[in-house]
């Protein structure tokens, strides 16, 4: 079985593309079901976040979908033309795909280096695929290894020692360019997921006193607000909450903007020219981009954080070599274990096949030498075993060497054919 990753991320696709191919929480289950119907022989885990849409696939080489097949699938699911998707997808195979997943899970490929949310997103993607029977032995082992790597990086480096998140970097850098203090500002958080909760936590730590949470699910908004001693605003009063806010952070899973330019006009009229900072962390975006053209509105999307996050990365770069070494070692470990699991059945079957003629010859010999004492019989058995081990040593040593280089598949096939290992 071979492993392949096909997808796009903040590194190679702008937000305008990512928001069109993103799979929201409610879309992931039907998307995975549609994938299974089309590619039944392919194990699949789909990871869709604000920064990436990636398909992790495992199958025999002949069955693995190419990049254009994944582009066609995404295009059909979203009602797009394949040529709108294909140029933005990237493919990684084998070791490169394994290393990429390990780095993603360990938050080494995140926009904010060391942010913790991605690990939960990787777990959720794996669990969803497992529950839909889209995961087989290969991806099960791969994702279990990825979660182990993430824990190793977190415990053996200082990347996660000081909590870092997209909201903390964004609000800390961008909002401070507009406001010199936060304790006298009104803040509105739209959404009630992990990103929203991280935002609420950070705003409280920064001294925000008047904090409002709005979400389509009133219960989830009230639960989050109660936990952080904030207020919950009814969804149908979102415009009023926007009119009263100084700082807005939005991170919903909506499939289209929750605030259009036309809807914002009413909000703008009620604000009387007060400056409004909006951090739109959603993909697809929650605020129509043209709202940024309004006077006294400072609207930033997830992609506007790139330069700030690069600064954050430079501050934490000293821990990167250690994290990279951990990932590289774990990639070697995973691949070695995978090759052993692949070659193990062939080796066992080969030994079994050679045991049968050995036993037949011993039985024939002992019938002829019926008076042979037991110590002599035991010595003869040991001699036969040593002979078989010596005969097996060269092909098995060659197989181990090829496995270390990752090129054992052809030799395994040759051994199976040469010794007629049909099972």
Q: Which residues are identified as catalytic? A: 50
Q: Which long-range contacts (CB under 8 A, 24 or more apart) does 412-416 make?
A: 412/342, 412/343, 412/346, 415/346, 415/350, 416/346
395 close to 415: Cβ distance less than 8 angstroms: yes
Structure tokens, 344: 């193990």
CA 166 to chain centre: 17
The alpha carbons of the chain give a radius of gyration, in whole angstroms, of 29
Q: How far is it, in rounded angstroms, from Cα 323 to Cα 326?
A: 5
6 close to 91: Cβ distance less than 8 angstroms: yes
Q: How far is it, in rounded angstroms, from Cα 291 to Cα 264?
A: 7
Alpha helices in 157-193 (DSSP H): 166-174
Q: How far is it, in rounded angstroms, from Cα 307 to Cα 220?
A: 33
Q: Which helix (H) or strand (E) holds 187?
A: strand 186-190
């Amino acid at each position: 079985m071979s492993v392949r990753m096909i997808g796009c991320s903040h590194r190679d696709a702008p937000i305008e593309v990512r928001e069109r191919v993103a799979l929201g929480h409610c879309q992931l289950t039907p998307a995975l079901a549609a994938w299974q119907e089309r590619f039944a022989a392919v194990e699949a885990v789909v990871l869709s976040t604000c920064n990436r849409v990636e398909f992790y696939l495992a199958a025999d080489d002949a069955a693995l979908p190419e990049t254009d097949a994944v582009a066609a699938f995404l295009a059909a699911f979203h009602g797009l033309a394949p040529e709108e998707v294909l140029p933005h997808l990237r493919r990684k195979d084998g070791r490169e795909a394994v290393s990429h997943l390990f780095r993603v899970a360990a938050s080494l490929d995140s926009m904010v280096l060391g942010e913790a949310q991605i690990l939960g997103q990787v777990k959720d993607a794996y669990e969803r695929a497992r529950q839909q029977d889209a995961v087989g032995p290969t991806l099960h082992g791969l994702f279990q290894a990825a979660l182990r790597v993430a824990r190793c990086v977190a415990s053996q480096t200082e990347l996660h020692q000081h909590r870092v998140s997209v909201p903390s970097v964004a609000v800390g850098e961008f909002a401070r360019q507009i406001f010199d203090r936060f304790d006298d500002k009104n803040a509105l958080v739209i959404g009630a997921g992990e990103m929203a909760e991280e935002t609420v936590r950070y705003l409280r730590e920064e001294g925000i006193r008047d904090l409002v949470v709005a979400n389509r699910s009133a219960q989830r908004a009230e639960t989050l607000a109660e936990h952080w001693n904030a207020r919950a605003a009814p969804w149908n009063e979102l415009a009023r909450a926007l009119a009263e806010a100084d700082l807005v952070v939005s991170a919903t899973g909506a499939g289209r903007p929750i605030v259009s330019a036309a809807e914002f006009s009413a909000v703008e009229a009620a604000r009387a020219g007060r400056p409004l900072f909006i951090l739109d962390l959603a993909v697809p975006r929650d605020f129509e981009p043209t709202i940024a053209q309004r006077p006294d509105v400072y609207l930033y999307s997830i992609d506007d954080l790139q330069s700030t996050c690069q600064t954050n990365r430079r501050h934490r770069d000293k821990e990167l070599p250690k994290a990279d070494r951990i990932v590289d070692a774990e990639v070697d470990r995973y691949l070695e274990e995978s090759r052993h699991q692949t070659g193990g059945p062939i080796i066992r079957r080969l030994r079994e096949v050679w045991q049968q003629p050995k036993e037949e010859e011993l039985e024939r010999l002992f019938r002829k030498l019926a008076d042979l004492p037991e110590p002599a019989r035991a010595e003869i058995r040991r001699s036969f075993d040593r002979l078989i081990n010596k005969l097996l040593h060269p092909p098995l040593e060659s197989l181990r060497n090829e496995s270390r280089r990752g090129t054992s598949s052809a030799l395994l096939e040759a051994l199976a054919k040469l010794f007629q290992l049909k099972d």
